[in-house]
Structure 1
């Protein structure tokens, strides 16, 4: 039995669901030769070849190896990397893999940065270029029938002209090294469903699900499955597709298939679903499709989570299931501090939760394919995404480069084509002058890999692509006029407030604007700077409504490190430690109050909140402005200071924000008075939300917590630990730069050491969970705190 791929990579609550499906299927198929997926994530030996003399696995002495588990970062970086590590690393592992006669074995890697060479039992399996997508090898004839098998991986993340994008010293992000996603061994019977990556078949391989027709009355779910017979005789099997929603079967189809010896064949089967529960950002209904091949003593099964939905465009409008949809979005880098890309599946899920919580329904995955766990979370939470090929201001005329980009586009679509969350495919090199013929090939590749009317190509040039994606700052030089096609504002709110140019030469450091007017404001820079960022964001988002765009994407969700500058890019609406700035609350206020988590969703998927909201963008200290800005999605707000009403005002359009549906409301308190601010939001005259801010006193202790966001913590997880300065009333004291020392007992490990400093009154460290319910403590001078036991 082949489990859902996300068993290796998805959050634990998804894995449990998958395991339950697998167990039921296994019991039903007892006695047959079954497929199996075995995780190889644990107990790898790791060697970083910092010494050139040790740059091969056989030259490294025994003492040069350490034991690690995947996902794994090749180098633990400081919070702000000033010289990001590049180089060669080795991984090796021994494992047992007994095969029954006729069975096939596939060794699959979900991602290795950036050039990977793999050996099994001394045989070089091959080299894979590109650090963001899976690759696989058929290792049937190389596995030892008895005893140990040894796999060795050499990985290199140094600058590469064929994979691109730019050399690190010129790059606006970092390609962090290591085997940062999972590895699995898949065994299959002689007659089986192929692996979509190993098959390397245009619009084929594995299971490919499309929706030729779907509305609220009925839907056709078309399932295309590639079945292979690797035996030496003809075989007749039954191919069955069963579709379930919330555990209840809603459709089933099956047919007999006879395959010649050595034959591979695609079989297409339609499933008819009456009154389907359609997928949308507001109602992310997910079905489970079970595709099974059985007969003649062999069983193989693949489960695929799908969302039934239809996308279309009416001129510039996006239609989802026939209804117009305006998308509010954000760009995201998948980086964490210290570990780079080596996030746990739960950490990926928490990132998706934060995107949803703070008002976004669309994410541009900048500028590369991101984790399967994040894609699965987007499906579950109702987030539309645009995956993209790696690219940033770089083109190489070597034909090998073009071939690599095209192959990456193909593999990205093959991996992610069944995700309900995919809006379009960015097979376009971001901010790169591409030859016309190359653009045409990329557009054609999208439609070759995903035939029909449900695939859309998107690119930053108007030529060929179905959707044109233009950054707001690129309007400055009118590089491209708006074409007559759907438009997305790809990026906005950052560069146009940072420099007086379009940003095509970001290392020139010219035409820069005053730093205090920029959107690049760290959480620890204080209230005035955070208000400036929020003002920029609101102005720019408002301006986007003056374009025909059906979606926009703020740059960026989280602060991140980059290669060309020894600091953090700080335009994120959240810090690199995943703490919100005022701008995040502005975006939360732009979600309509009717949007709430879907009833019956997984518990973790309920944690993004939604509904009516109000937020006071002030710490209300003596340094605070007496003009208080409030964000809300209600009709009006009353602000009270120490129990007295300052004013009650409509959330009405203004000269600054003429187009925002939910504009900020500003109050003049006259002068600072210590005490409590209370904002009460009203709709139709009824109080629907409230937010309080109290002037903090002196800090008396540290409040220590593990910020798991309600996503169950498991072994190998990465979670931020917080130490919050609080006064005697429990109010956060928003001091910046206070040194805090953390301690971790059994169960938790501090990834990059015990030291942190506060931003807005909170110090954060990254914790690796060895086993749940560990102990944590923190101290700042005389201030103490400890994690409360569960």
Structure 2
């Protein structure tokens, strides 16, 4: 009977995991030890380091050991250990494995990472291990003990390691698995490279025992005269005095947290300089509790819609944008430093952009902070992409968690004006319910920004209909259209198409464009030439300018990026060539066509605002 009970307990617990905790706001302001650098790794396609030969997880067995996470050394010459991190090769963290090792270029599966580090934990302090991202499923262990797991390739996660951290040497082991699965978010089918690995920063952070865990300090909805938000502290001393100080604005606000560590904030303000692309003003904000203190740089602005206008700080604005993937083509691979991110946004500024769409998943928090600094408005998105498992409750739970994580992490960034709940999702009743619930979720978490998605459209002759039912719930009408590339004939035929848009809201074209191989030239009717792409853009402008409510666009895309869906050996070679800049940094002719168009739009809006 006892054996049966043990077996039954193992059976019902197998597959149940301890999940990562809610992440701390503004990790960069903390006392951190960077765990970036060279990590030893072991490729494990059969997951031998996680499962025994009966496919039972080692970390769920009675003994709780036997996996690679033990980071074990043979006790003597008779001891059998079939792995060895010390003599294994190494990878840079942050960074993906596909672009660092040629034999891993196409690899999808499990890879074990190991990082040795020294620590000097202090009494009365709390310690967390913080991962800015790892794609896709990460199982994390410290000194042989499991901290938990996290799903989602582009959102931050953390674990409390206060009780497990040792004085002196510590071993941090992570199994990262980027296997694509039908019920995950995104699902198995995407049009970008499935870069695996620990792709963003890793920190060991030291906190007070009672610490400032979260805060929101932004202007209230449609109100330039009031800062609104909250403070949340965690720990044993939850009732504390809190001071918010914005010296340059002459603001010093005192409040007290309740027995749950929470305090709402409502601060009347005057004479604030509002954040905008033309003047991306950031204020130093100091938050101090009785046990903790945090500094941040925050901009203050409002974003709203009125009829077919998008209003930034109450004034109509045209979103002169470009879409960007989280990829440095010059490596190629995931960006590994702030310099990589700044390069991408600098290219966007050279296009005369005031706006970027960060597709198709949450980007690095550093990207948002740079956008704050450089004056670029942001569309931020979760990877609900194409064909998600609409009727699977766990898939929705996953998507909602990623959306929540995105909003919670970037809610203090003035640059972020739009939360997007998905891209090109085919209309059906289950999809409509799934996506509609995500829209409601986004609005419940943040009512101060716009909510959007790239909607579906359909054509009848030369009429393009935009009547996706999801548009009823959204703040703007956005859709992807590829006239002149996937449909609509040659570039010179594009202007014949007209749009019938059901919803009287601002229209922002979330994608348009076509591909060109940099340096390949010919006439305007020859595909893959820079001239074809240039003509496509010029004729798109003629077509789109006829839309009464057109208030912005993000052509696809700033830079060529890698994609396994693009196999043509001459023109693609597993690169999506729709970029306005090549994978070697060469600006194509269409880059300058878009730049010229945006200069005209900027002048038009400047003249209108002066009237």
TM-score, normalised to structure 1's length? 0.61
Larger radius of gyration: 1
Instruction: Give the Cα–Cα distance (whole angstroms) in 2 for the partners of residues 365 and 302 of structure 1.
Output: 28
Q: What is residue 210 of structure 1 aligned with on the other side? A: 218
Distance in 2 (CA, whole Å) between partners of 1:417 and 1:318 is 20
The residue aligned with 2:56 is: none
Closer/same/farther in 2, CA of residues 391 and 4 from structure 1, 3 Å limit: closer
Structure 2 Cα separation of the partners of residues 109 and 370 of structure 1: 14
**Does the alignment pair 1:228 with 2:250?**
no
By how many angstroms is 1:243 displaced? 1.5
The 3-state SS of whatever aligns with 2:384 is coil
What is the aligned partner in structure 1 of residue 241 from structure 2?
238
Q: Superposition pairs for residues 695-710 of structure 1, below 5 Å?
A: none
Map 1:138-153 → 2, pairs under 5 A: 138-144=160-166, 146-153=167-174
Question: Could you say if the C-alpha distance between residues 479 and 404 of structure 1 is closer, same or farther in structure 2, counting changes exceeding 3 Å?
Answer: farther
Query: 1:66 is matched with which residue: 89, 98, 111?
Result: 89
Secondary structure class of the residue paired with 2:159: strand
**Corresponding residue number in structure 2 for 1:411:** 405
Distance in 1 (alpha carbons) for counterparts of 2:271 and 2:581? 40
Deviation at 1:440, TM superposition (A): 2.1
The answer as to whether partners of 2:498 and 2:543 remain within 8 angstroms in 1 is no
Q: Is residue 2:409 matched to residue 1:390?
A: no
Match of 2:260 in 1: 264
How far, CA to CA, are the matches of 2:159 and 2:170 in structure 1? Answer: 15
Cα distance in 1 for partners of 2:171, 2:85 equals: 16
Distance 2:374 2:119 in 1: 37
Alignment equivalent of 2:286, drawn from 274, 284, 290? 290
CA contact (8 A) 1:77 1:339 kept: no
Measure, in 2, the Cα distance between the counterparts of 1:122 and 1:54.
12
Displacement of 1:457 after TM fit? 4.1
Which runs of 5 or more residues in structure 1 are unaligned?
8-17, 19-34, 195-205, 495-519, 596-632, 634-658, 663-790
User: 2:136 and 2:407 mapped to 1: Cα distance?
Assistant: 19
The equivalent residue for 2:519 is 524
| Distance in 2, Cα, partners of 1:586 & 1:459 | 24
Instruction: Confirm whether residue 465 of structure 1 aligns to residue 446 of structure 2.
Output: no
Q: What is residue 440 of structure 2 aligned with on the other side?
A: 444
After superposition, the CA RMSD in angstroms is 3.2
Q: Is the 8 A contact 2:450 2:476 kept in 1?
A: no
Q: Which has the higher helix share?
A: 2
Q: Confirm or deny that 1:538 pairs with 2:546.
A: no
Deviations 1:534-559 (A, max 9, x none): 11111112321211221111111111
Q: CA deviation at 1:462?
A: 1.6
Indicate how the Cα distance of structure 1 residues 459 and 443 shifts in structure 2: closer, same or farther if over 3 A, else same. Answer: farther
2:40 pairs with 1:45: yes
3-state secondary structure, aligned to 1:86 = coil
CA distance in 2, matches of 1:122, 1:448: 40
Aligned to 1:275: 271
Number of the residue aligned with 1:305? 297
Cα distance, 1:78 vs structure 2: 9.2
Question: Quick one: distance in 2 between partners of 1:423 and 1:178?
Answer: 30
Taking the aligned partners of 1:438 and 1:479, their CA distance within structure 2 comes to: 27
For the 8 Å contact 2:222–2:303, the answer to whether it is kept is: no
User: Quick one: distance in 2 between partners of 1:429 and 1:155?
Assistant: 26
Say if 1:210 and 1:222, in contact at 8 Å, map to a contact too.
Answer: yes
Give how far 1:334 is off. Answer: 1.4
Q: Offset at 1:83?
A: 6.6
Contact kept, 8 Å, 1:439 with 1:463, in 2: the verdict is no
In the alignment, the residues of structure 2 paired with residue 573 and residue 368 of structure 1 have an alpha-carbon distance, to the nearest angstrom, of 21
Correspondence 1:427 to 2:428: no
Q: Return closer, same or farther for 1:454/1:364 CA change in 2, 3 Å cut-off.
A: closer
Cα shift readout 1:64-91 (whole Å, capped 9, x = no counterpart): 5234442122122799x99732121111
In structure 2, how many angstroms separate the alpha carbons of the residues matched to 1:78 and 1:555?
29
Residues 291-325 of structure 1 show CA distances to partners (whole Å, capped at 9, x for unaligned) of 1112xxx3x22222221111121101111111111
Q: Which residue of 2 aligns with 1:487?
A: 507
